Amino acid sequence: MMRKLLNDELDRLTTEGFKESDKTPLIIVLDNVRSLNNIGSVFRSADAYRVEKIYLCGITAQPPHKDIRKTALGATETIEWEYVEDTVDIVNRLNEQGYTTCAIEQAERSQNLYNFSPSKGDKVAIVLGNEVKGVQQEVVDACKEVIELDQYGTKHSLNISVCAGIVIYDVFNKISLLRD
């Protein structure tokens, strides 16, 4: 039988310890995400993998908000974030700063997440879009890459917080393997 670990056995960082820790060279850009619960969930996943920063764009709500806080479980206090009105502006700025900007979207000539392979030293920024409309076309155009998650059912989309968790986990692992 396996015993579940207690919270105090998990060796979690304090908020200050997290802020001082090395971050994954990964940035999340939320392009007009409307659900406060989705925003909070993305913060929580970002905290789990020590994401560098989150940019909240367009209609994406900002902390503090009780519905963001409900799903973020304190991650809005650990993850650095910034509001930028125009998503294209921040994608262009990240491109100039040497990030590989990746729209997570279904598009012509997109590459499967499985095949996305950052190189050693790469900094990655992923852009996740609105729950209904996805990433704006002009934002897709501004990104260096378009990454798609293959799906095999009748629905051709995932909830943004689920999609974010999958992509963050995958990119974190690929970057971590390059650091070793």
Contact 151, 104 (CB under 8 A): no
Say if residues 86 and 53 touch (Cβ distance below 8 Å). Answer: no
pLDDT in tens, 30-49: 999 999 999 999 999 999 99
Query: Rounded distance, CA 172 to CA 79, Å?
Result: 15
Q: Write out pLDDT tens, residues 59-75.
A: 999 999 999 999 999 99
| Model confidence, pTM | 0.96
Given a cut of 90, whether residue 99 has pLDDT beyond it is: yes
Residue 180 has pLDDT above 90, yes or no: no
Burial degree of 158 (CB within 10 A; 0-12, 13-18, 19+) = middle
Which residue did the predictor score with more confidence, 179 or 171? 171
Give the closest residue to 128 by CA, choosing from 111, 149, 150, 155. Answer: 149
Q: Which two three-digit tokens encode residue 127?
A: 């852009």
Mind listing the pLDDT tens digit for each residue in 5-34?
999 999 899 999 999 999 999 999 999 999
For residue 52, give the nearest of 31, 26, 29, 75 by alpha carbon.
Answer: 26
Total residues belonging to the chain: 180
Domains, the chain, with CATH or none: 15-179 (3.40.1280.10)
Q: pLDDT (tens digit, 9 = 90+) per residue, 128-171? A: 999 999 999 999 999 999 999 999 999 989 999 999 999 999 99
Q: What are phi and psi of 109, to 5 degrees?
A: 60, 20
Residues 113-129, mean pLDDT to the nearest whole number: 97
The predicted structure's pLDDT at residue 179: 81
